[in-house]
Structure 1
């Protein structure tokens, strides 16, 4: 049988669903184990979230992770994420993207090496370094893995360092579990087409300032919503949602709850409100990006059905 150590891993469950002519009938389910209690186990499957009573479980075991997504799937999601976080200063190097936003966030100030740079790899990285040097910025390269592993190997040889590993996590919107009923008098989640000054203040506090380029990154998306939860007249929880990738992907970012309002389920409520908006806008899947070392956030996203699609590293050029 399963143990708490199996939560977060892919499992297969054979359950008893009936009896025919004195013999049990079985049904199998495959998915990520997101919760295990004395009475039930809960799986996030490709068809949605299901609960299986422990009394019905005939056999259950951990199985190897699903196959890695194809290179095309990783590239498509990275490009949808770029649309959702658009740097105001941009250039192309073949298919590669060069991006700058006055240094505000690594995502908006890094090269994205997806596709063919139209020149040998060493020459492409030389061009990346020159482009950022001309802007007076340190050169950064966002390397989605395993897609950009050859780029990473060349950067290793050049002595580039790495920022912490980031998980790019996804969930089909249909598989995201509904939240518990909200207690009477709970503050509502508001969704606005533009960020309020209160919203921007929280974003500035989290990201260390808010230059003009940051406002472009946050707002220059055709389909975008800014979630807000007020309590006693004060903004205590925020989030941002975008729909990109030809309408498939709901991108979630800047999910933040002030310390005094945590452990009340507000982050989950913000995410579900944005998920409802994204689904109404035609999105079928959601993605977010979270540092692997942020174990609290990773645990929260697991309860909402998110699993890791791929990872990336932000690579940093050595000092000149």
Structure 2
């Protein structure tokens, strides 16, 4: 059977799916073990998240990893993403980054566990708990996998829970920009250095009321663009944000939203393509985004644009 040390690694699980002629029927599942509790295990497979009750597991073991990006590349991308979504309060714990933004979004209010925390793992988690407690916030840690598999195992032992799996997906900018001319049957994409009030209002429909700290975070990047698509009456149909950060000049795509009445028109693709063109002019060559694995409409859109999963992470939360 699997152990907590296997979280974050590639495993194969043979499970019992039925009985025929008094004999059990088996099915195999291959994927990344993202959670292991006393009653079930959770796999991130190519077809999505799979939860298997332990009573249905016939056999399970760790298998050699699939081809993964180098650890240094994962760290570099995570640091570029941190620059693109800059929490106003940050502190260092060795290589880890402690972040706080008045609880607006998980990313800006969770410690980023990359690198060496410059102390034992248990002491590092203690320090995270104290830092967030001093700010009246629930301690959270983002654990990129499989780099942070030991962190996940330690957090399991402390009873920390996990939010839904997040995919960090990447795509080359030339593939996003393409050689095809922009669609002329759609309104043009407007690109601005700062967001209008209507842009904020549309984002708030998805993210909730935007406090002052949220606006500071969204605009606090030197190279950032706010994209909008409007109809003939001037009403917003879609919005999005792009930021170029890091020594490798990554384009971070975020907050791509379409008005309910304007969905399935290709506006999301239209908008991302325009943001990619903006980033290309600024020397970026690759794009990334972060999306929950369970968000099927978004993952389908991004797959069609050429995004593929680079790595994953879990946002872990301390017990109440």
TM-score tier (shorter): 0.7 to 0.9
Please give the secondary structure, in 2, of the residue aligned with 1:209.
coil
Q: Deviations over 1:128-155 (max 9, x none)?
A: 0000000000000000001111101000
- Structure 1 Cα separation of the partners of residues 256 and 271 of structure 2: 8
Aligned to 1:253: 254
- Structure 2 Cα separation of the partners of residues 68 and 149 of structure 1: 14
Aligned to 1:98: 98
Q: Unaligned stretches of 5+ in structure 1?
A: 1-63
Q: TM-score, normalization: structure 1?
A: 0.77
Aligned to 1:56: none
* Cα 1:158–1:186 shift into 2, 3 Å: same
Aligned to 1:278: 279
- Note if contact 1:179-1:269 (Cα within 8 Å) is conserved in structure 2: no
Choose 150-159 or 296-305, whichever is displaced more.
296-305
Deviation at 1:219, TM superposition (A): 0.5
- Note if contact 1:189-1:273 (Cα within 8 Å) is conserved in structure 2: yes
Q: Deviations over 1:109-143 (max 9, x none)?
A: 00001111111010010000000000000000000
In the TM superposition, structure 1's runs of 4+ consecutive aligned residues that sit over 4 Å from their partners are 179-185
Please give the secondary structure, in 2, of the residue aligned with 1:251.
strand
Aligned to 1:152: 152
- Note if contact 1:179-1:268 (Cα within 8 Å) is conserved in structure 2: no
- Structure 2 Cα separation of the partners of residues 222 and 130 of structure 1: 32
- Note if contact 1:90-1:100 (Cα within 8 Å) is conserved in structure 2: yes
Q: Deviations over 1:165-200 (max 9, x none)?
A: 000000111223638655545311000000110001
Deviation at 1:308, TM superposition (A): 0.3
Aligned to 2:74: 74
Matches within 5 A, 1:1-320: 67-176=67-176, 178=178, 184=184, 186-231=186-231, 232-319=233-320
Q: Deviations over 1:225-248 (max 9, x none)?
A: 000001121011000000001252
- Structure 2 Cα separation of the partners of residues 316 and 261 of structure 1: 36
Choose 74-83 or 64-73, whichever is displaced more.
64-73
Q: Unaligned stretches of 5+ in structure 2?
A: 1-63
Deviation at 1:100, TM superposition (A): 0.4
- Note if contact 1:177-1:304 (Cα within 8 Å) is conserved in structure 2: no
* Cα 1:298–1:118 shift into 2, 3 Å: same
Please give the secondary structure, in 2, of the residue aligned with 1:170.
strand
- Note if contact 1:138-1:316 (Cα within 8 Å) is conserved in structure 2: yes
- Structure 2 Cα separation of the partners of residues 257 and 308 of structure 1: 23
- Structure 2 Cα separation of the partners of residues 185 and 313 of structure 1: 40
- Note if contact 2:198-2:236 (Cα within 8 Å) is conserved in structure 1: yes
- Structure 1 Cα separation of the partners of residues 270 and 183 of structure 2: 12
- Structure 2 Cα separation of the partners of residues 65 and 297 of structure 1: 27
- Note if contact 1:190-1:227 (Cα within 8 Å) is conserved in structure 2: yes
* Cα 1:65–1:262 shift into 2, 3 Å: farther
Deviation at 1:204, TM superposition (A): 1.4
- Structure 2 Cα separation of the partners of residues 102 and 272 of structure 1: 32
- Structure 2 Cα separation of the partners of residues 291 and 179 of structure 1: 30
Aligned to 2:36: none
Choose 172-181 or 240-249, whichever is displaced more.
172-181
- Structure 2 Cα separation of the partners of residues 197 and 123 of structure 1: 44
Deviation at 1:98, TM superposition (A): 0.3
Aligned to 2:60: none
- Note if contact 1:177-1:305 (Cα within 8 Å) is conserved in structure 2: no
Deviation at 1:70, TM superposition (A): 1.2
